[in-house]
Chain A
Amino acid sequence: MNDDTRRDERIGREAGENQTRENRTGGNENDHVPLLTVRGLEKHYPITEGLLRREVGRVRAVDGVDFELRRGETLGLIGESGCGKSTAARSLLHLDEPTGGTVAFDGDEVGEFDRQRRRRFRRRAQLVLQNPTSSFDPRLTIGESVAEPLEIHGMTDASTRRAVVEDTLERTGLQASMADRYPHELSGGQKQRAALARALVLDPDLVVADEPVSALDVSVQAEIIALLRRLVSTFELSLLVISHDMGVVRELCDRVAVMYAGEIVERGPVESVFERPQHPYTRALVAAVPTPDPRAEPRPFDLHGDVPDPAEFPDGCRFHPRCPAVIQPPDADLQQREWQRIVAFRAAVDAGQVDPEALVSAVEVDVSVDTDTSGGIDASADADAASDASSPSPPPSATTAIRAAYDLPTLDDDERSSALSTAVDAVSSGDADHASEILEDAFPTVCIRENPSLRPTDLGHAAACHLHGEVRETETEAKNGAGESGVTSSDEA
């Protein structure tokens, strides 16, 4: 409570403060109420068209996110760019009003706050941004910038402000005299310290740091990470770190949530999630991190494609078009790699992305260029030829082009083989819908049918993957032991 008292003395008590303080006391004494509880958080942006701004679609940047953050705890939110991490941070702080879900702070719903309580929430929950250079006004001294929040929140006495600012600067490892410097006189690391000082000057309970160190050199990163750790333990701060750098999250966080396509796909203690990732996406992310050991074996890495467009997510599990472990139809016995290519093709057909004409023009010359690895200069001869009859093979038909572009396999299973051919024919004649139906009948999979929800795995931490469904639990275990992604489902009963 010392912190609270000190802050209240500084900032002057606003009406209704007592009520909030009671809540805080409750939070302190009773660990069952997390500082922050996010339930079903949604941020959708409408895509409108025409004068009447008719809604024709929705960008589902954040699409049902749940997590909790306890007092003094550090949670990492990771994922590739475009997965919705930063939008989630902004909307949980209500800097962008969320379009769905609830955010409870100390047990009270932020969405229902009146102006005054919203203002208090702003004081207790702070955001630190990635780029310390653009977050400071170049015309203000560091001291003026750090003092600004105090002024806004009613500390009128300039000399008190100055004292608080100097104190805060020192706590972030800067000299008090830095208060008189201008942003351009500071190094990147010093600016990031000053940015933290500005966030901490109001004694917040929650700090959301969006890529707090990614703009900094490794040596400076290490300093800021050490500082953040110290601040968390000294002030019982709750810290939400948004980062694409798994090394940083591992170093800094107690727990981690992995986001993909607007959803959380895995969540748990840092050690558990990074050492034994249960979602194929997390597994791929972890495998992608370079290890600082030149003698390490090359990591198996087979994640292709990009994060899907948030305006048109794939059906079912949003990761299925890229998933190395996507589940096969119950009675199928396909090579997993072949099966993956069929799934990727199915996703492209469903999304209407297969353009036979473009593929024909691209694929034919590809053959002459790609087989020529010696430098390709002599491709000039057959390059002209590529578009006419003297090329080694006649220009391919649309079906050949599609098969080549998606690297579609020839299947042993006659029934499925002919279904695939019929689907390719349908796409090449422009009937993608029909192709979709054929593929759905011939290659059904739970991964496209249903979007899995986040549920506990055998390890205790939660993952959203059909591999961890009730039916599959025992089977999955065996497979995880056997290999990273080698999941076949021929033995599914």
Chain B
Amino acid sequence: MSDDPLLSVSNLRTEFSTPDGPLVAVDDVSFEVGRGETVCLVGESGSGKTVTCESLTRLVPESGEIADGSVEFEGSDLTELSPSALRRIRGDRIAHVFQNPQNALDPVYSVGEQVAEAVQYHREISDEAARARARSLLDRVGIPNAAARLDDYPHEFSGGMRQRVVIAIALASDPDLLVADEPTTALDVTIETRILRLLAELQAERDMGLLFVTHDLGVVAEIADRVVVMYAGKVMERGPVENIFERPAHPYTQALLRCLPGRGGPLEPIGGSLPDLRDPPAGCRFHPRCPHARAECKSGEQPPLYDARGRTQSASCVFYDDDHDASVVRESARENGETSNGTKSVADGETSDEASDGRRERR
């Protein structure tokens, strides 16, 4: 990546006012997306992934506000821009695709008109050319017989097809950054795979940055260069995709990977539930569900992101500061990597923390 990332989010904090007091949905979140790079935001619902995306171009609902932090996009801070300047960037340089396609299309215009309009918003070209470009885009996102369907209205499309139209509209402007929030979650795997391949192609062609929100770790493994793991509004871990899957540093990331169906090993639910964001636990927000939690995890602030493996992978976990023995959590990580073939190394036998013992019994 170049020294100057396309998007740089620093210490972002987004709050909502609720009848029961303020709710901090995104708390001190920082990450970067480079040109041509794919960064995946992962986490369970309620982790703040969607609000993070909405905060980038200030699309958060009325009751929310960006309380702190900055969103640098090619040198300018989007949190400081005037609404009109921001509008010029949104939908043009930065395009969004949201999970629910029902509200994203206008029911009274044909699908072709809506895609063509998005094309013309960006470029001054004739209606015919815009229409042809619309057809080509719809073709590429996998609308069968696209030429014949340009004049159809959104209600004549299935949910999956509407989502593909929404993706075509987002791509119509050749954005520098595409922010996609669970864009393929509602689609069949066959379509999902096609869309993911298409995004990868476009990325290579146009050096587009991609911020992709998903809870599907299979998709993450397929497309991500780097991963940001969120939990209860906080970043738990950041790192290159290979490290996150093969050597997850944070106990939460490790727990998340053990939930994956079809991975070969036994499924291990995390247990417990997400904390109430109006009253988050002190210390590390994952501590009530963490098998390694100690006294120091249960008070104070969320730990900072410590270097977990070199400087590229960092984890918000006290075990990675200088005073702790990181191998306690790390051994567990390695064991996790080996559950699929069922073997255990001698080194694992030496760790005596209760978590890995507990896991052994269950097996």
**Interface residues in chain A, defined as those with a beta carbon under 8 Å from any beta carbon in chain B:** 80-82, 187-189, 217-223, 225-226, 244-248, 250-251, 284-285, 287-296, 299, 301, 303-306, 348, 353, 355, 358-359, 361-366, 368-370, 373, 375-377, 379-380, 383-384, 386-387, 405
Contact = CB atoms under 8 A, between A and B. Distances in A.
A292 B133 contact: no
Contact of B193 (A187, A290, A306): A290
B83 interface: no
A220 B245 CA distance: 20
A285 B145 contact: no
B261 A81 contact: no
A244 B193 CA distance: 14
B144 A295 contact: no
B22 interface: no
Contact of B259 (A218, A366, A369): A218
B181 interface: no
Contact of A305 (B132, B144, B257): B144
A137 to B, nearest CB: 23
Contacts of B245: 292-294
- The 10 A-B residue pairs with the shortest CB-CB distance in the complex, in nearest-first order: A247-B262, A383-B129, A365-B132, A290-B218, A383-B125, A247-B261, A222-B259, A223-B269, A358-B147, A288-B189
B148 interface: yes
B273 interface: yes
Contacts of A348: 145
B162 interface: no
B362 to A, nearest CB: 11
Interface in B174-223: 174, 188-194, 196-197, 205-206, 215-222
Contact of A82 (B158, B194, B255): B158
B148 A355 contact: yes
A386 B133 CA distance: 12
Contacts of B129: 365, 368-369, 379-380, 383-384, 386-387
18 contacts: A80-B190, A219-B256, A219-B270, A222-B270, A226-B269, A245-B189, A245-B261, A250-B262, A290-B192, A290-B216, A292-B220, A294-B245, A299-B193, A361-B131, A377-B123, A379-B123, A379-B125, A383-B129
A394 to B, nearest CB: 16
B344 interface: no
B124 interface: yes
Given A294-B241, A358-B147, A386-B126, A221 B259 contact: yes
B142 interface: yes
B224 interface: yes
Contact of A221 (B189, B190, B261): B261
Given A244-B188, A365-B132, 17 more contacts: A80-B191, A187-B274, A218-B44, A219-B256, A222-B261, A222-B267, A287-B193, A289-B262, A290-B222, A348-B145, A362-B146, A376-B174, A379-B125, A383-B129, A384-B129, A386-B132, A405-B147
